[in-house]
Amino acid sequence: MSSPPRELPLIPERWWAPLGLLAVLLLVLWAYWQGLQGPFLFDDFGTLPKLGEFGPVHSWAVFWRYITAGGGDPTGRPIALLSFLIDARNWPAPPWPFKFTNLVLQLANGTLLAALLWRLGLVLEPTGTRAARAAVLGAALWMLHPLFVSTTLYVVQREAMLATFFVLLGLLAYARGRRLMLDGRGAGGIAWALLGLVGCTLLATLSKANGALLPLLALVLEATVFARQPLADSSRRHWRVMLWIFAALPALLLLAYLLWAGLQATLHHPEVRRWTEPQRLLTEPRALWDYLKLLWLPRPFSTGLFNDAFAVSRSLWHPADTLPALLGIIALIALGWRWRRTHPVLALAILFYFAGMALESTTVPLELYFEHRNYLPAMTMFWPPAWWLSDLRRWRGFRGTLTIGLPLLLALLTLQRAVLWGHADQQAMLWARINPHSARAQAYAAQFEAANGQPQDAERRLLPLLAAHPDQVQLAFNLLNVQCRLGGVQPAAAQAARTAMATMRDPGTLLTSWFARAIAVARSGQCPGFDLPLLQSLVDAGLHNPRIKNNAGRQQDLHYLAGSVLLARGRAQAALGELSYALGFDIRPGFAAAAAAELGSAGHPRLALALLDSYRQVAPLAPAPGFGMGMVHAWVLREQDYWPRALAQLRAALQNAAAAKDHGTATPSMTAARGASSPSRTACGGEAARRPEDNRPVCKTGHSAA
């Protein structure tokens, strides 16, 4: 008797993984959608205005000026700048398209991660569908994790997302090359591996510096999962030579750079940080444990973008968890190395994570803590639980429930955080509650309170924190703004501002951005107690600040501001002296153009011409730009004859204005000065552009400029 025919499944098993991935992508889209309504934030304003710095990007000449104008690290991150042209060609621009592109990139990264995990899973289990199920689930847990909302919806972090995109492409190319080597196709295998290790590393690094970690991450794959699939003797030698030259050697060079950066930061530590390099190295293990806690115990809200209150480790015993954190990190890395043969999935998650943190959480003197640093290192973090859950031979119902439930839970947490990112005022208030000791968070919240008709609440928020942190200029400046709304600046608030100026560390672009508005308010007389003599006293206090006396960028800013205040007080000749003196700190045509335009706009075209004459005399003394994108940008401007033409136009306008003034006719406007670089050293400042700062932390002191 024949058995009844077996019914075919409604959907073949091989389709479950693609359909599951599609469902996950739709879930991610749903969870993030409301967050797309949020505004630009903080460092967005340090990078995105480059879209209009040289005019609308509608010609090749402007395009090349724009694409080479990046800072942040020596590469200039041109791939990230290029990607912003998808969303706008000029500035200002609406934030929604930028955030939507970031979300699309998040979906693309999740898809590439699923492909990489699937490829790795096939090494461990060549038959069956476990590899595909684990890949989709591992990618889903990463894509839907609420910690990465602050990467995806923070427009400027497209740099980190693009670096991750090219790292994933590079690792996929490397994995394909290895597969071809196993099949005996040596030439093709080497070619694919080189495409990943060289081509994609270059593209990733031109997006953000941590893209240079790709060769090290490939070595982690080789030491863990791929160790289960050894190459034949005929291919092994060629593969090892390729690995030594294009993976191990770049990794060793990166290690040498980290050691050099740590030594330089230790020997030449400037007074711009609240910690020394050895203290940073002691603090980072505690930061790493906090990251791991956020990854494995997710919650809807966290400290967000304000981490200036993260406690510094002053020694191995202060705070008390410093030594345990350090020993714990060492133990985890040792376990990962020990398990690389016996438990390759776990070993990969551990070693990949710490390798991915090697650049931003070791010796490079960046700020201590940022959530977005987990975006790339955590890519394989959730593959071990996904691999375990995808084995349906035991507890099928229980594991199936977790397989569906965990992504849904993370989606709900991400939805909550994304909704918050869509409402800046609620976000500011929540971050202030979560970060009670963060000067930046409190000043940011005070701005919203003052703007929403609650200046008394803003004052009550600022006063105790300023008493505890008298060197925080963002608190002092916001207090002055708030008291103007309350009827006038009190003497105690004015003195607190002078104290902050005299003791502050590097304030970044906060000085020039705040003073530009403050001078206009002081001249108007709208705020009793807030006048030009007060602003002059603030600048004088800053000029006597020993912490920034050796900071050429800030000294230039302060003397520029001194000149601006003197000009507003009608002392034009003295203003010319200050502006000319400021020029000597960093001889740049953009500064000279902006300062001359200010003199001309104030009705002193002949003094402006004198300043341009001074610049012409000292221009040969200007130092050549250092190695990196700054050098390329200078070459582009030189080839386009940009500054000679711009300065000639400005000089002609000033000469016309001077002639008109001599004849008593109307003075032409200084429109020729448009396009001149900001006197605040552009964006985050030329000083910052020479340091490998992620997120432009120097700019972060300017978050709370009202």
Residue 688: the pLDDT is: 31
Tell me the per-residue pLDDT of 167-214, one tens digit each, with 9 for 90 and over: 999 999 999 999 999 888 888 999 999 999 999 999 999 999 999 999
CB neighbours of 48 closer than 8 A, spacing ≥ 6?
Answer: 40, 84, 88, 91, 93, 98, 155, 156
- Distance set, CA 393 to CA 122, 341, 388, 402, 550 (Å): 18, 24, 11, 15, 67
Nearest to 611 by CA among 575, 652, 664, 657: 575
Tell me the per-residue pLDDT of 520-575, one tens digit each, with 9 for 90 and over: 999 988 899 999 999 999 999 999 999 888 888 889 999 999 999 999 999 999 99
Residue 270: the pLDDT is: 61
The average pLDDT across 6-17 equals 60
The neighbouring-strand residues paired with 315 are 318
In the DSSP assignment, the letter for residue 379 is: G
- Distance set, CA 147 to CA 203, 261, 357, 417 (Å): 25, 29, 16, 9
Is pLDDT of 700 > 70? no
CB 159 within 8 A of CB 46: no
Tokens of 510: 């906060």
Rounded CA separation 50/613 (Å): 28
* CA dihedral over 503, 506, 512, 514, signed as positive or negative: negative
Q: Can you list the alpha helix ranges (DSSP code H) found in 127-157?
A: 130-143, 149-152
Tell me the per-residue pLDDT of 117-167, one tens digit each, with 9 for 90 and over: 999 999 998 877 889 999 999 999 999 999 999 999 999 999 999 999 999
Tell me the per-residue pLDDT of 263-275, one tens digit each, with 9 for 90 and over: 888 877 665 677 7
4-13, 85-94, 128-137: segment of lowest average pLDDT = 4-13
The average pLDDT across 374-378 equals 96
CB 17 within 8 A of CB 136: yes
Tokens of 39: 């505004």
- In the chain, what's the furthest Cα-to-Cα distance? 117
Taking the C-alpha atoms of 244, 247, 253 and 259 in order, what is their torsion angle to the nearest 10 degrees? -110
Rounded CA separation 144/133 (Å): 16
Is pLDDT of 699 > 80? no
The average pLDDT across 386-408 equals 83
3-state secondary structure 3-41: CCCCCCCCCCHHHHHHHHHHHHHHHHHHHHHHHHHCCCC
Is pLDDT of 670 > 60? no
Is pLDDT of 698 > 60? no
- Distance set, CA 659 to CA 532, 603, 662 (Å): 31, 12, 5
Residue 12: the pLDDT is: 60
Residue 287 or 680, more confident? 287
Rounded CA separation 69/675 (Å): 13
Rounded CA separation 489/480 (Å): 6
**Residue 391's pLDDT band (boundaries 50, 70, 90)?**
confident
Residue 702: the pLDDT is: 32
CB neighbours of 513 closer than 8 A, spacing ≥ 6?
Answer: 680, 702, 705
Nearest to 594 by CA among 643, 531, 659: 643
Residue 143: the pLDDT is: 96
Is pLDDT of 701 > 60? no
The average pLDDT across 651-658 equals 90
The average pLDDT across 2-7 equals 50
End-to-end CA distance of the chain: 87
Rounded CA separation 465/247 (Å): 49
The neighbouring-strand residues paired with 53 are 55
Tell me the per-residue pLDDT of 478-521, one tens digit each, with 9 for 90 and over: 999 999 999 899 999 999 999 999 999 888 788 888 888 899 99
Residue 678: the pLDDT is: 41
CB 34 within 8 A of CB 415: yes
CB atoms under 10 Å from CB of 61, counted, come to 15
**Residue 237's pLDDT band (boundaries 50, 70, 90)?**
confident
- Distance set, CA 23 to CA 17, 37, 408 (Å): 10, 23, 11
Residue 15: the pLDDT is: 73
Amino acid in position 20: G
The average pLDDT across 276-282 equals 89
CB 474 within 8 A of CB 494: no
Tell me the per-residue pLDDT of 569-610, one tens digit each, with 9 for 90 and over: 999 999 999 999 999 988 899 999 999 999 999 899 999 999
Rounded CA separation 613/296 (Å): 62
Rounded CA separation 376/358 (Å): 11
Is pLDDT of 215 > 50? yes
Tokens of 591: 């500064």
Report the chain's mean pLDDT, rounded to a whole number: 87
Residue 96: the pLDDT is: 95
* CA dihedral over 154, 155, 160, 165, signed as positive or negative: positive
Residue 1 or 334, more confident? 334
Residue 71: the pLDDT is: 80
Is pLDDT of 689 > 90? no
The neighbouring-strand residues paired with 55 are 53
Is pLDDT of 680 > 50? no
Rounded CA separation 264/270 (Å): 11
CB environment 435-461: b (16+ within 10 A), e (fewer): beebbbbbbbbbbbbbeeebbebbbeb
Residue 73: the pLDDT is: 81
Tokens of 642: 């940009």
Tell me the per-residue pLDDT of 404-435, one tens digit each, with 9 for 90 and over: 899 999 999 999 999 999 998 898 899 989 88
Residue 229: the pLDDT is: 87
Residue 234: the pLDDT is: 76
Q: Is 487 left (phi over 0), alpha (psi -120 to 50) or beta?
A: left
Residue 608: the pLDDT is: 92
CB atoms under 10 Å from CB of 405, counted, come to 10
